[in-house]
Amino acid sequence: MTNTRVLIVDDELLIRDLLYDFFTSRELDVTTCNDTHDALQMLEESPRFDVILTDIRMEGEDGLSLVDKIRDVSPGVPVVIMTGYPSVETAVEALRKRVYDYVIKPFNINRLYNTIVAAAAEFSPDQGKNDKPSEVSTEYASENFSSR
Amino acid sequence: MRPRILVVDDELFIRELLEEFLTRNGYNVATAAEPHEAVRRVQVDEFDAVLVDLKVGGSNGFEVVQNIRHLSPDSSVLPMTGYPSVDTAREAIRCGAFDYIVKPFRLNELEKTVAAAVDECRRRYEARQVKERLTELEVKIAAMNIRESKQKLTLKRAGEEVNSIPGTTDTIEPEVESLGARLNRSRSRQSVSAPFDQ
């Protein structure tokens, strides 16, 4: 059985390294990149990711624009958005783009891990976003980890 | 058939306004003033879209949203709020809401969102029907394949030449292909939704 493959897109090295180390220690297969251009290149070369975790604010194109392109390359793959600058506007935009979750930094890394695993478990080529169960996922808190 | 809409709001003015406006625009509209009334309506009727105020009857509107998603998974749910916040928008994502409507809204823009929500509900319904039919056919094909193998084995034991058994999966495969194509077309429309300008 292959491990869950996660693509992390964030321009902050600290976040990429921290998530890489933590998720790898929990046996996820993690790939990181620092902008949407590299992310798209990776998706085109190997579109078989089970979950994509992306920051919103990055140099160049933002993470929400990346979601549309992900839909073209890897339709159905769950996307988890993270941001240190939460707003109603970006949360609603994320909702309309059918993201799996909208995570606010600083976050609890254990809960983020649970969200990633739950998103991957839900994803299969036969399942769309709207098959999502009605159960509400856990709240995030800053108790374990601060990034900004 | 006219799309069916349920409006859940404890403000009479909002219920009447939406009922009148949406009815005039070709929808069949029901209303509920209380969460339990909304749940009861969803238990007995099918709705393409449900508009739910997040503060209905002083309760947490997300309980209503979750109940509706559970009772009627094809229906598109549209939370409405006069107090938009990041927390409730995130909750809407997690509940699988179709959109997040901020009051006050423009009726024409609301109508576009409702129309997109109805399309989404019908797409989900169609995709589910196609998937169920595909599963039925897959089971049928598997049974036919087993029967064919058994017949071939019997003929082989009797020392007869065996090529193919007439009347087996050939009759079903064209339908499977056509349903597969319908499912793919339905999925390609999935991510399209009309934005609701705030």
Burial label for B182, CB within 10 Å (0-12, 13-18, 19+), is middle
**Chain A: residue whose CA lies nearest to B94:** A136
% chain B with pLDDT above 90: 56
d(CA B180, CA B187): 11
Q: What size, in residues, is chain B? A: 198
pLDDT number for residue B192: 37
The mean pLDDT value of chain B amounts to 86
Domains of chain A: 5-131 (3.40.50.2300)
B191 closest CB neighbour out of A71, A88, A134: A71
Angle at A123 between CA A118 and CA A127, to 5 degrees: 130
Q: When comparing pLDDT for B144 and A129, which is higher?
A: B144
User: Do A66 and A40 contact (CB within 8 A), yes or no?
Assistant: yes
| Chain A residues near any Cβ of chain B (below 8 Å) | 71, 75-76, 86-89, 91-92, 94-102, 104, 126, 128-132, 134, 136-137
User: Do A55 and A11 contact (CB within 8 A), yes or no?
Assistant: yes
ipTM: 0.78
Task: Check B120 against A102: CB less than 8 A apart.
Answer: no
Task: Check A91 against B86: CB less than 8 A apart.
Answer: yes
Q: When comparing pLDDT for A136 and B79, which is higher?
A: B79
Residues of chain A positioned with their CB less than 8 A from the CB of B72: none
Structure token pair of residue B47: 């709705």
> Does pTM surpass 0.90?
no
In this predicted model, what pLDDT tens digit does every residue of B46-62 receive, in sequence order? Answer: 999 999 999 877 777 88
Domain positions in chain B: 4-122, 123-188
d(CA B172, CA B153): 23
Spell out the CATH class of B4-122. alpha beta
% chain A with pLDDT above 90: 68
